[in-house]
């Protein structure tokens, strides 16, 4: 199977897709303010007419490239392209100020690749057994899992919990639009049959993450557009394999954190990046060097935020529950190509799925090559101010939204989502929980109602299933933990101050 | 110049008669790209059929004919079906047709088309529904199934791919014929419904036969809801021979807007008839898991009328929405 999949990859179009994806990703990611989600959102329509393997290789390439690209602007400018590279900026920018920007970028690149490869290996080992376990996931278990996922985003997604909770609820509310999943009653469609399928993911994604950026900058005061800053000089430097090998424990821990946090739907890559940064500092014998430009301070978050991809693909492929915008899009691409996730995905489409896994690992090679090549270019790329790209982004967004279903309604949905996204971002609300709410809203409703139908209206179905009970237990424990952490912290602080 | 004016006057006169319209079409069609409208996303079963037909049919339409497949997904296919029905009947817009789904839509909502809106060209695929349970359930015959379902008194669940689809109709018709009560649990797509049956989360299914292929170890197909036993599964009885008069399937074919000019229709018909005998095309369709069962012209139209009546009857007796 692994060999068949490898053969399927030996196609010039797969290579072209991987390389163009990675290069585009690095460039988009390197431009301050533009991130991986936007890169993916803009490129999905391109993949519609492609066959599954190149299409998904392209999207994954864009994603990986953009995450690495984000670290370029984080390191050289202290402007993280994505929240997930904010942790990288701490030590990366410190190194860049010392003239070690080149070294920081190389460490980031190699750590990204290490994290990516590690999580792919975990994916290959775990995905198939977990997928066959998925047969035990009926409506009740699915409902419990999705409830858990939504709660985890609110509790541990970072940021203010009330904000996240509001955004999740807004997303779930938006998912009500369309035909209800059990009876087929139209809800909030205003008699338009184009709205019967509800808000389509891709127009909403493009609107929230690409168009809102344009609106945001459009309404920004002129004075806030900064003059190009002076870039720190890049002194030629080398990172030898020994240097990376010295950090093997850090890389391993960070990749583990990234992968397993990635499996939990919805958290994203910011939390694991900061978690592993914290862990690396705690484990280090030279903790004082952190923040002053420590190699490990760059390597840890980069390994973690790249490892998330592999982890997030596990629930996506096994259960059809995407963990974030990127996996939601990949899930959409799978469905579009007729590959239905679930226990039989690996049996029926094993070659395609393993080819995609292998593509994910092998794309490390072009990532390194083009990452190294694009360092010098990147210095110019990060000088590009996003406002110069907004006309292009606007056109791509309009085109992308239209091309999903050849429907003008989707264009309005995209513009509407862009405007709502703009308002929410102006008010500092986080958008990812909104998107997860929208993605999981309908399946959650469907699962709960299916469970009630099969149990004849009795809630016992949730208590009688071990899996559902365990998941509900986990949900309760998570709530308890999140309530206890601030209390414990307060106590510790009080103790600390009383000792002094 | 004079000659040209003369010709144009004459041809204008002649064009008013249908006779010459036929002649001119017979000579010209197709002189530009023929568009095939698919009401579902690229990559799905209907889309694959449309693309397979388009790629093989070009050769039979001759004269460097070009066909292009365009997807207009949404609203359960309604957007695509409407687009075909309201297009110019010039033979340059064809569309895929899914029975009974397309006509069922005209009952549960406002639709801008009906069975009379189309020229019924040819049906290519027919996929009968089945009565199916998980092997783990231990049920081996329709009689046992009915017995257990009666015991459960309405708590017997059937997993459906969607509402108002052929498996939904099958469940309603079977419940009526066997005088039992079923609880419908709709899923998102046939694969999800099948997984739930295999996992024991719902009790039975009425999925199309093609959906059960490859699950011989896990699924027990109790009956097919077709007229005759299937050549690929001769051991499975039909519901009819067991005494339950239920016939349902999903039929995928090609239609054009109603009122197609005679000559264009003839050109298309000849091309389609030739296509239906092309061994390459047949092998191509078979390799995609949908062997061709060709019904064209009147035969297809009567199938459509029949399916329309069934949908109307079910909607009247047990509206699904």
Each residue of A97-132: pLDDT tens digit?
A: 888 888 888 899 999 999 999 999 999 888 888 888
Predicted confidence (pLDDT) per residue in B33-85, tens digit: 899 999 887 666 788 889 889 989 988 888 778 888 888 877 778 888 999 99
The reply to whether B243 falls in a domain is no
Residue A445 confidence (pLDDT) above 70: yes
Is A336's CB within 8 Å of B199's CB? no
Buried b (16+ CB within 10 A) or exposed e, B280-293: ebbebbeeeebbbe
Q: Choosing among A331, A344, A439, which should be mutated to test the B contact, i.e. which has the most B CBs within 10 A?
A: A344
The reply to whether B141 falls in a domain is yes
Q: Are strands B34-38 and B67-71 parallel, antiparallel or unpaired?
A: parallel
User: Could you list the residue range(s) of the whole structural domain that residue B201 is in?
Assistant: 130-224
Q: Is the dihedral of CA B301, B306, B309, B311 positive or negative?
A: negative
Decide: B181 and B146 in contact? Cβ < 8 Å. no
Predicted confidence (pLDDT) per residue in B253-282, tens digit: 999 999 899 889 999 999 999 999 999 999
Is B75's CB within 8 Å of A197's CB? yes
Residue A141 confidence (pLDDT) above 80: yes
B135 and B273 housed in the same domain:
no
Decide: B71 and B45 in contact? Cβ < 8 Å. no
- pLDDT confidence of residue B8: 53
- pLDDT confidence of residue B139: 93
The structural domain count of chain B equals 2
- pLDDT confidence of residue A232: 62
Of B48, B78, B202, the CB nearest to A454: B202
Chain A residues lying within 8 Å of B110, measured CB to CB: 191, 193
Decide: B123 and B296 in contact? Cβ < 8 Å. yes
HSE toward the beta carbon, residue B217, CA cutoff 13 A: 0
Chain position carrying tokens 């390197």: A30
- pLDDT confidence of residue B5: 53
Instruction: Tell me the C-alpha distance between B85 and B117, whole Å.
Output: 5
- Give φ, ψ of A205 to 5 degrees: -60, -50
Indicate which CATH number applies to the domain containing B185: 3.40.190.10
Decide: A128 and A241 in contact? Cβ < 8 Å. no
Tokens of A282: 């705690």
Q: Choosing among B199, B202, B315, B319, which should be mutated to test the A contact, i.e. which has the most A CBs within 10 A?
A: B199
Q: Choosing among A182, A191, A332, A406, which should be mutated to test the B contact, i.e. which has the most B CBs within 10 A?
A: A406
- pLDDT confidence of residue A496: 60
Secondary structure (3-state) at B223? strand
How many other C-beta atoms can be found within 10 angstroms of the C-beta atom of residue A408? Answer: 11
Is A136's CB within 8 Å of B199's CB? yes
How many other C-beta atoms can be found within 10 angstroms of the C-beta atom of residue B211? Answer: 21
B169 and B210 housed in the same domain:
yes
Decide: A303 and A255 in contact? Cβ < 8 Å. yes
HSE toward the beta carbon, residue B254, CA cutoff 13 A: 33
B145 and B170 housed in the same domain:
yes
Tokens of A499: 């000792």
Of B41, B188, B321, the CB nearest to A183: B321
Range 4-63 of A in CB contact (< 8 A) with B: 48-49
Instruction: Tell me the C-alpha distance between B287 and B215, whole Å.
Output: 18
Residues facing residue A186 across a β-bridge = A179
Chain B residues lying within 8 Å of A446, measured CB to CB: 186-188
Of A182, A196, A342, the CB nearest to B75: A196
Predicted confidence (pLDDT) per residue in A351-401, tens digit: 888 888 888 888 888 888 888 888 777 777 777 777 777 888 898 889 888
Of chain A, the percentage scoring pLDDT greater than 90 comes to 18
Domain-ending residue, one of B207, B224, B241? B224
Is B109's CB within 8 Å of A197's CB? no
Secondary structure (3-state) at B257? strand
B122 and B135 housed in the same domain:
no
Residues facing residue B125 across a β-bridge = B252
Residue A235 confidence (pLDDT) above 70: no
B253 and B120 housed in the same domain:
yes
Chain A residues lying within 8 Å of B321, measured CB to CB: 183-185
Residue B186 confidence (pLDDT) above 70: yes
Indicate which CATH number applies to the domain containing B68: 3.40.190.150
Secondary structure (3-state) at B268? helix
Residue of chain B whose Cα is closest to the Cα of A344:
B195
């Amino acid at each position: 199977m692994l060999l068949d999949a490898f053969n399927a990859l030996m196609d010039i179009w797969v290579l072209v897709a991987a390389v163009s994806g990675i290069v585009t990703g690095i460039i988009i990611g390197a431009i301050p303010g533009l991130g991986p989600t936007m890169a993916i959102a803009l490129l999905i329509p391109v993949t519609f007419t492609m066959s599954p393997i190149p299409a998904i290789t392209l999207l994954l390439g864009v994603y990986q490239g953009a995450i690495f690209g984000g670290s370029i602007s984080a390191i050289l400018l202290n402007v993280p392209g994505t929240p997930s590279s904010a942790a990288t900026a701490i030590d990366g920018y410190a190194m860049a100020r010392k003239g070690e920007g080149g070294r920081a970028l190389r460490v980031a690149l190699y750590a990204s690749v290490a994290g990516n490869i590690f999580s792919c290996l975990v994916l290959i080992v775990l995905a198939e057994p977990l997928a066959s376990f998925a047969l035990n996931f009926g409506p009740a278990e699915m409902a419990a899992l999705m409830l858990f996922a939504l709660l985890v985003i609110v509790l541990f997604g970072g940021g203010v919990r009330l904000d996240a909770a509001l955004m999740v609820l807004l997303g779930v509310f938006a998912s009500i639009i369309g035909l209800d999943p059990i009876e087929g009653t139209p809800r909030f469609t205003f008699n338009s049959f184009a709205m019967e399928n509800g808000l389509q993911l891709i127009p909403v994604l493009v609107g929230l993450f690409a168009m809102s950026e344009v609106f945001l900058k459009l309404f920004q005061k002129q004075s806030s557009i900064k003059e190009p800053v002076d870039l720190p000089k890049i002194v030629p430097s080398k990172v030898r394999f020994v240097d990376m090998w010295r950090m093997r424990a850090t890389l391993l821990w960070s990749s583990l954190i990234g992968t397993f946090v990635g499996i939990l739907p919805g958290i994203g890559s910011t939390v694991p990046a900061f978690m592993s940064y914290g862990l690396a500092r705690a484990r280090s014998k030279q903790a004082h060097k952190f923040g002053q430009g420590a190699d490990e301070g760059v390597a840890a978050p980069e390994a973690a935020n790249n490892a998330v991809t592999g982890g997030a693909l596990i629930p996506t492929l096994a259960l059809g529950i995407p963990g974030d915008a990127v996996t939601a899009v990949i899930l959409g691409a799978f469905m579009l190509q007729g590959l239905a996730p679930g226990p039989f995905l690996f049996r029926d489409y094993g070659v395609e799925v393993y080819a995609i896994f292998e593509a994910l690992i092998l794309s490390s090679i072009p990532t390194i090559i083009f990452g190294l090549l694009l360092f010098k270019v990147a210095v110019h790329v990060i000088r590009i101010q996003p406002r110069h790209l907004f006309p292009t982004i606007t056109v791509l967004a309009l085109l992308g939204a239209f091309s999903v279903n050849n429907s003008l309604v989707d264009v309005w949905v995209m513009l509407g989502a862009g405007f709502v996204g703009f308002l929410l971002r102006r008010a500092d609300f986080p958008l990812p929980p909104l998107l997860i709410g929208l993605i999981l809203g309908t399946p959650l409703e469907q699962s709960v109602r299916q469970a009630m139908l099969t149990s004849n209206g009795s809630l016992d179905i949730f208590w009688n299933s071990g899996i559902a009970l365990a998941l509900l237990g986990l949900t309760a424990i998570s709530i308890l933990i999140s309530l206890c952490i601030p209390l414990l912290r307060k106590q510790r602080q009080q103790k600390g101050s009383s000792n002094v | 110049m004079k000659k040209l004016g003369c010709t144009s006057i004459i041809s204008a006169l002649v064009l008013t008669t249908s006779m010459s319209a036929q002649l001119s079409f017979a000579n010209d069609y197709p002189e530009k790209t023929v568009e095939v409208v698919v009401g579902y996303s690229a990559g799905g079963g209907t889309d694959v059929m449309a693309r397979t037909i388009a790629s093989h049919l070009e050769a039979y339409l001759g004269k460097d004919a070009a066909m292009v497949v365009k997807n207009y997904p949404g609203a359960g296919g309604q957007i695509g079906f409407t687009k075909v029905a309201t297009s110019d009947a010039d033979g340059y817009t064809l569309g895929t047709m899914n029975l009974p789904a397309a006509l069922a839509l005209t009952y549960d909502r406002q639709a801008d088309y009906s069975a009379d809106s189309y020229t019924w060209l040819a049906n290519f695929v027919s996929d009968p529904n089945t009565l199916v349970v998980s092997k783990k359930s231990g049920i081996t015959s329709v009689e046992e199934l009915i017995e257990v379902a009666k015991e459960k008194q309405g708590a017997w669940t059937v997993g459906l791919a969607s509402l108002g689809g052929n498996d939904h109709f099958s469940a309603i018709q079977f419940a009526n014929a066997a005088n039992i009560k079923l609880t419908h649990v709709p899923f998102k797509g046939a694969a999800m419904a099948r997984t739930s049956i295999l996992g024991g989360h719902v009790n039975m299914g009425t999925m199309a036969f093609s959906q059960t292929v490859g699950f011989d170890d896990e699924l027990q197909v109790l009956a097919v809801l077709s007229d005759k036993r299937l050549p690929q599964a001769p051991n499975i009885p039909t519901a009819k021979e067991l005494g339950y008069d239920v016939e349902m399937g999903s039929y995928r074919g090609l239609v054009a807007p109603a009122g197609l000019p005679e000559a264009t229709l003839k050109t298309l018909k000849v091309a389609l008839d030739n296509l239906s005998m092309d061994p390459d095309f047949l092998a191509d369709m078979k390799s995609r898991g949908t062997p061709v069962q060709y019904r064209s012209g009147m035969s297809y139209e009567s199938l459509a009328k029949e399916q329309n009546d069934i949908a109307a009857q079910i909607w009247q007796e047990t509206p699904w929405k």
